[in-house]
Amino acid sequence: MGMENLLMRNKNFRSWDHAAGSGHINAPTIRDHILCTTTITKGKCFFYLETDYEDISSAPHLDCIGTNVSGSGSSSSKLSILSEPSARNDFLVRGVATIQHGLDSIHQELHDVVPTLRAEIAKNTTLQQQILEMQTAAEDMARRMLEMQQQAIGLQEQTLDRLATIQSRVTAILTQTYELHEYPIPRLFIILPKEDVTRSESLRNVFAKQFKLYFLCECNNHHNPQGAAAKTTAGASGGQGMMAMQKQEIHLARHEGYDLDRPTEFFDKYGSYVLTLLQMLKYGAVVAGVVIPPLAQFRITDGLDTAKQSADALYKSMEPKVDSAIEFLQNLSGNQGSSSTTTAAANTSTYSNNLEALEGADLRQLSSFLKIKDEGRVLGNLYRVVTEEGHVKWVCLDHYRETYGLSAQRELREVVEMNRGRYDEPTGTITVELVSPMQARQFYSILSSSRYVQELRLTMSWDTALEDYRNLKDALQQSNVVRLELVGNMTSGPKTDILNRNRRHDPFLQLMAGGKLKMLVIKGLKDFFERTSKMPSIIHIRTFDLQSSTMTGKDVPQLERLIQASPMLYELTLLVQHVDATFTLLSPLIRKLRRFRTLTLHQMPRTTVTFQYNPTTNEAPVISLSGDGIDSTKLVLMQRVRMLSIQKYQEPQHIQDLVQRVVKKSSSLEVVEIRCLADHFPTVTEWIQKEIHGHKTLQRFVLNDGFNSVVLRDFQNTNNSAAALPTSELELQEISTCGSDDPTQNLTTLFERHGAEIKVLDLDHNFTHLQASNFLQSVRQAQGSKMRLLTWDITKTWDGRIFRDMLPALRMCDPAVLEWVAIKVNQGYRDIQQPGFVTVLDDQSGRESLGMILKKKANRLELRARGLNVIISKLQTACNGPFEQLEELYIRGFEESFGGRSVKWVQSLMQRDISARLSSLSLSPTVQETDIRPLSSTSSTSSSSDTKSTSPLASIPAPISAPATKRLLTNITLFHVHLVPYSWELFIRSIDFLTIRHLDFTLTNFADPELVQLTTRCLDKVCKVRAISSSLSLMHLSEDTSLSLSLSLSGLGKEDRLEIEDLKEQERHGLMVWLDQTAVTHAVVGAQQAQIEEAKCLWVRFGGLETVGSVHT
């Protein structure tokens, strides 16, 4: 029944159809054929049915039971039927028990497995959570990477835009062309942080960053079209072609750099320009054939090993220095502290938004911002060349010599010097005066074949004719001269040239039309336009300066034709009778010129008006007026006046009237410069600050007296508070009491307010002891003074206390300022009987104070007076030498004899500690120690027989090893003084030729052959002593002078030796002695010497020469 009920409960059970089609089999029938057995294994219930069907697969609808069915596997098996109820019940009970047992087993297994499953599920959940978190982090990282990629793309685009901007600005700078007159100094320069900052500079500028300015060499293939051939030749010739193998890349010039004098004003004016050049160096650029390597490949210069050694140190620190300078300049734009690249790029764009290539006026002004030590030399040791296109470049010495040969330069220099001219090789400028046609033809023959002269300043000092001008024209057309400055003698020409009178100046018009000459300045040619005939149809001149004679109405037609025929005219300068009328006449003609920039009109007396035009606009010109008589022109009241400069000294009342009448009413005035005495500075400055403050356009108001200036700025602020008044910048160089109308009041006010700022004080008899006390008191209160020079012009009785009061003030001077006191005794060519300096020396207190100052502080002593022996006798009682700080000694008499006592006193000034020198040197084999004797021994043992000796001097002093606090006597001048031969010998013996740089015996009686021989022997000894192997003491002695470069000359041939000697001469090394206008060169190079140790320059001038060039070693 259980099985039956089981079968009946199956929803699929209805009936069984017999597989063979024997009819319908009902459920009760199956009981007779089936025996069911149940087995539970591993939680599964198995029913075993035994049937009597031969084939179990033929049993009808067995699958409806839903159990595993197995047959007996035998065809003859019989189905056991549980026919008894008890048997079926037992079967069911056993089945139920079996099922229960299975269920229990299942439950137990589940009980054992569930914790493990739960742990696995928890672990799986944790892993899934971690996977989710990692997926989230991966998504965030992918998002950030995408953002960073987008930012990187943006920054890359910004960087490319920035580099493109830099490239465009660099292109604007490097492709800017300059005329010769616009380009007086190099145009490419950068600033780098200064490393050797002194303690005093740090104290004066605690929060200021110190920089130095360096110039760049503009070498490229423009100035050397044969560069490739030169390199090939140089490579074949080995070391001799080193200079020809210079790379054609912009690089730093070989120079130690320049300190900035007014850094704030410098960065305001040139900051954006310098920033662009620094960025150019950092990233590199190639513009119009000019190569600027990036900083990683940047170099200073190829050349001598010694220069390369000093350059290596700069290479290593070059990149951080450039980065530091760029960061500093970017911060000046007003965004200090910003470090992002985007902001930095924005700063650069803002700072350089209005950048333009520098104009000629900006370049000319640059030198005023530099502290220049090597006066007289071109900035950066660079040389000027002109390309074939007429463009001006500044290159280093190596590239200059690569372009122009040495022998041709030497030949030209000899011809110029033979004609008493001067050849300035760095600028390619010749200044010469020719006195005859024959001399002119000789000079023209050399000039026509030279390729390295760009500027000629020629004076023709004879009665010139048409043929003379034609010869000059032919020579200039064959040369590379682009600027001619001609000075005539204002003559009407020779009578033999009367037929050519009306065409005498035609060669100059032909030069202007030829195309090669770009700038022409003519002075001293009488009636220039009247002596010209037909005007050329086209004139290529760019700058024309005609100041021969005042133009008249007869010159106007020819001048008009010249302007109409000059489409390239850039600048025009004329000497006129009336500025207003000339400007009205020329304005319509000038407006038709597309390139015209500057019109300058000079009107006598000393009035100059400059009109600045803008070729891109049709605006009225900007007017600048300067001179003495600007009140006579109506242009001063025009609204286009931007600059007003009055060169004539003005009284305070006149300045106030000018301000009220012109300055306050002007709506365009930007700069005002007025001359007045320095002692009026305080009162005028105070009045101007109150009166003009709030002016809309005025930028600078400058008061100056030629040496000193006060600059007022910031007028635009309309606030009436005291703090908003215009600021002032005071620059006091030299204050003189001469000519002061009220020295007591005005100078006292100046000293009280600004005494510590004065650098040079020139005193005359108007300067009283009371004023001196006030000045010195200002020095004490300031605890420091910038004073470098103090001079007296003594013509009246002085109070000796002035010297005594100097001593406390000397202790207050700024330690960074070198010894600043100099004594200048100038009797003003008056008779010595006038009481003056002698009276001061008669006072014991003043004499002792003066002696202390001279011995300890004076570095320059000038004695200019009649009766020098009397003056020196008084000084001798107060102060015998040596003077520890004395560097310059100048003595001028009036053809009077110098006594023996005076000579001995001068000897004492020049005397040094010779015993200290000898201990610091190891002499070369060519110089024996016994050859050097102290001065005291030579002077004390001298006798009259010594003066008659053919060998008056057997030795010279050796180099000094003086303490660092002592100075070396370098300059000695005796002017209009006569000495007996014995005194001359004593004087020569006292000179240390190893330290002297300038020796001048002008208008003296130094003419004895034995004295000349004596000096020659001294120079010969100098050559030997300079070969001493130990140069440490020499370097220590000469630490404050510029030393020359040491060159090794061993193993050189004759031509090489001449080349190096020529180099030494050009760079002003070696020893030059002038003897009665005869130049004798004492070569420092000896036949047996292996090298030169810091050869210095010595110029000795004797009677007969009137001038001598400045010396820079």
Q: Which of 311, 343, 376 is the last residue of a domain?
A: 376
The secondary element (H helix, E strand) that includes residue 36 is strand 34-41
CA 689 to chain CA centroid, nearest Å: 34
**Bridge partners of 975?**
892
8 Å CB contact between 598 and 586: no
Nearest-5° angle of CA 436, CA 441, CA 446?
130
Range of 377-391, 469-483, 821-835 with top mean pLDDT: 469-483
Q: Are strands 211-217 and 258-260 parallel, antiparallel or unpaired?
A: antiparallel
- 81: in domain: yes
Using one digit for the tens of pLDDT, what is the confidence trace for 569-591? 989 999 988 888 888 888 888 98
Rg of the chain over Cα atoms, rounded to whole angstroms, equals 50
Using one digit for the tens of pLDDT, what is the confidence trace for 286-331? 665 566 667 656 554 443 343 444 445 555 567 788 888 888 888 8
- 244: in domain: yes
For residues 727-738, average pLDDT: 69
- 131: in domain: yes
- Give yes or no for residue 674 having a pLDDT over 60: yes
Q: What's the confidence (pLDDT) of residue 709?
A: 83
Q: At residue 262, what are phi and psi to the nearest 5 degrees? A: -125, 80
Residue 838's nearest CA partner among 874, 880, 866 is: 874
H helices within 791-913, ranges in order?
801-810, 837-842, 844-856, 868-878, 900-910
Q: What's the confidence (pLDDT) of residue 132?
A: 92
Q: Distances in Å between the alpha carbon of 623 and those of 483, 611, 1026?
A: 26, 5, 59
Both 704 and 820 in a single domain? no
- Contacts by 610-614, CB closer than 8 A, 24 or more apart: 611/583, 612/642
Residue 250's nearest CA partner among 301, 180, 317 is: 301
**Bridge partners of 1080?**
1073
Task: Give the integer Cα–Cα distance in Å for 501 and 464.
Answer: 11
Using one digit for the tens of pLDDT, what is the confidence trace for 338-387? 444 444 444 444 444 444 557 767 777 787 788 776 555 667 778 887 77
Q: Which residues contact 43 (CB under 8 A, 6 or more apart)?
A: 102, 105, 106, 109
Nearest-5° angle of CA 480, CA 486, CA 488?
150
Query: Which pair of tokens denotes residue 251?
Result: 């690089």
User: Strand, coil or helix: what is 406?
Assistant: helix
Both 700 and 810 in a single domain? no
Query: What are the helix and strand counts (H, E) for the chain?
Result: 33, 39
Task: Give the integer Cα–Cα distance in Å for 1042 and 1096.
Answer: 8
The secondary element (H helix, E strand) that includes residue 1079 is strand 1078-1082
Both 234 and 109 in a single domain? no
Using one digit for the tens of pLDDT, what is the confidence trace for 406-429? 667 777 888 888 888 888 887 888
Q: At residue 727, what are phi and psi to the nearest 5 degrees? A: -80, 155
Both 711 and 777 in a single domain? no
Both 683 and 777 in a single domain? no
Task: Give the integer Cα–Cα distance in Å for 644 and 653.
Answer: 18
Range of 70-74, 764-768, 835-839, 1000-1004 with top mean pLDDT: 1000-1004
- Give me the chain's average pLDDT, please: 66
At 1076, the pLDDT band (50, 70, 90 cuts) reads very low
At 687, the pLDDT band (50, 70, 90 cuts) reads confident
8 Å CB contact between 545 and 573: yes
- Give yes or no for residue 277 having a pLDDT over 90: no
Both 228 and 349 in a single domain? yes
As for how many domains the chain has, the answer is: 4
Strands annotated E in 154-237? 189-193, 211-217
Q: Which residues contact 571 (CB under 8 A, 6 or more apart)?
A: 181, 542, 543, 544, 545, 596, 597, 598, 599, 600
- Give yes or no for residue 530 having a pLDDT over 80: yes
Task: Give the integer Cα–Cα distance in Å for 692 and 711.
Answer: 14
Q: Are strands 858-864 and 700-704 parallel, antiparallel or unpaired?
A: unpaired
Both 794 and 849 in a single domain? yes
Q: What's the confidence (pLDDT) of residue 203?
A: 45
- Give yes or no for residue 142 having a pLDDT over 80: yes
Q: What's the confidence (pLDDT) of residue 171?
A: 63
In the block, tokens 């020295």 appear at 743
Query: pTM value?
Result: 0.52
Task: Give the integer Cα–Cα distance in Å for 813 and 819.
Answer: 9
8 Å CB contact between 655 and 674: yes
Q: What's the confidence (pLDDT) of residue 313?
A: 53
Both 801 and 784 in a single domain? yes
Higher pLDDT, 823 or 1032: 823
Q: What's the confidence (pLDDT) of residue 198?
A: 53
Q: What's the confidence (pLDDT) of residue 23?
A: 40
User: Strand, coil or helix: what is 269?
Assistant: helix
Task: Give the integer Cα–Cα distance in Å for 1073 and 482.
Answer: 35
Percent of the chain residues past pLDDT 70, beyond the cut:
54
Amino acid at 360: G
Q: Which of 339, 357, 376 is the last residue of a domain?
A: 376
The secondary element (H helix, E strand) that includes residue 3 is helix 2-9
CA 585 to chain CA centroid, nearest Å: 44
Q: Domain range for residue 99?
A: 2-141
- Give yes or no for residue 238 having a pLDDT over 60: no
Task: Give the integer Cα–Cα distance in Å for 614 and 152.
Answer: 44
Q: What's the confidence (pLDDT) of residue 92?
A: 82
Task: Give the integer Cα–Cα distance in Å for 528 and 557.
Answer: 13
- Give yes or no for residue 521 having a pLDDT over 90: yes
Both 744 and 663 in a single domain? no
For residues 683-697, average pLDDT: 83
In the block, tokens 């465009």 appear at 168
At 784, the pLDDT band (50, 70, 90 cuts) reads low
Task: Give the integer Cα–Cα distance in Å for 117 and 393.
Answer: 90
Q: Which residues contact 312 (CB under 8 A, 6 or more apart)?
A: none
Q: What's the confidence (pLDDT) of residue 761?
A: 72
- 340: in domain: yes
> Worst-scoring range by mean pLDDT, 225-234, 253-262, 293-302, 774-783?
225-234
Amino acid at 570: Y
Task: Give the integer Cα–Cα distance in Å for 919 and 905.
Answer: 27
Using one digit for the tens of pLDDT, what is the confidence trace for 640-653? 788 888 877 788 88
For residues 958-982, average pLDDT: 66
Neighbours of 49 (CB within 10 A): 23
Both 690 and 775 in a single domain? no
Residue 662's nearest CA partner among 685, 682, 634 is: 634
Higher pLDDT, 355 or 440: 440
- Following DSSP, what letter does each residue of 111-164 receive, concatenated? HHHHHHHHHHHHHHHHHHHHHHHHHHHHHHHHHHHHHHHHHHHHHHHHHHHHHH
For residues 42-69, average pLDDT: 49
Percent of the chain residues past pLDDT 90, beyond the cut:
6
For residues 787-802, average pLDDT: 57
At 959, the pLDDT band (50, 70, 90 cuts) reads very low
For residues 80-85, average pLDDT: 59
Q: Which residues contact 76 (CB under 8 A, 6 or more apart)?
A: 54
Q: Which residues contact 100 (CB under 8 A, 6 or more apart)?
A: none
User: Strand, coil or helix: what is 1109?
Assistant: coil
For residues 212-234, average pLDDT: 58
Range of 448-457, 518-527, 674-683, 774-783 with top mean pLDDT: 518-527
**Crossing angle of helices 981-990 and 1009-1025, rounded to 10°:** 10
Using one digit for the tens of pLDDT, what is the confidence trace for 83-97? 577 777 887 888 888
Q: What's the confidence (pLDDT) of residue 109?
A: 83
- 596: in domain: no
- Give yes or no for residue 25 having a pLDDT over 80: no
Higher pLDDT, 118 or 721: 118
At 801, the pLDDT band (50, 70, 90 cuts) reads low
Q: What's the confidence (pLDDT) of residue 543?
A: 92
Q: Distances in Å between the alpha carbon of 638 and those of 666, 670, 699?
A: 8, 13, 18
Task: Give the integer Cα–Cα distance in Å for 735 and 708.
Answer: 7
Higher pLDDT, 987 or 459: 459
At 944, the pLDDT band (50, 70, 90 cuts) reads very low
CA 1093 to chain CA centroid, nearest Å: 30
- Give yes or no for residue 946 having a pLDDT over 80: no
User: Strand, coil or helix: what is 204?
Assistant: helix
Q: Which of 342, 359, 376 is the last residue of a domain?
A: 376
Both 838 and 852 in a single domain? yes
Sign of the Cα pseudo-torsion (966, 970, 973, 979, in order): positive
- 514: in domain: no
Task: Give the integer Cα–Cα distance in Å for 86 and 78.
Answer: 21
- Contacts by 110-115, CB closer than 8 A, 24 or more apart: none
DSSP 8-state class, residue 535: P
Q: Are strands 821-826 and 422-424 parallel, antiparallel or unpaired?
A: unpaired
Q: Are strands 543-546 and 251-252 parallel, antiparallel or unpaired?
A: unpaired
In the block, tokens 């960025």 appear at 279
- 24: in domain: yes
- 278: in domain: yes
Half-sphere exposure (Cβ direction) of 446: Cα atoms closer than 13 Å = 20
- Give yes or no for residue 875 having a pLDDT over 70: yes
8 Å CB contact between 240 and 309: no
Residue environment code for 516-551, b if the CB has 16+ CB neighbours within 10 A, otherwise e: ebbbbbbbbbbbbbebbeebbeebbbbbbbbbbbeb
At 499, the pLDDT band (50, 70, 90 cuts) reads confident
> Worst-scoring range by mean pLDDT, 469-473, 800-804, 917-921?
917-921
Q: How far apart are the first and last CA of the chain?
A: 138
Q: What's the confidence (pLDDT) of residue 432?
A: 92
Both 130 and 207 in a single domain? no
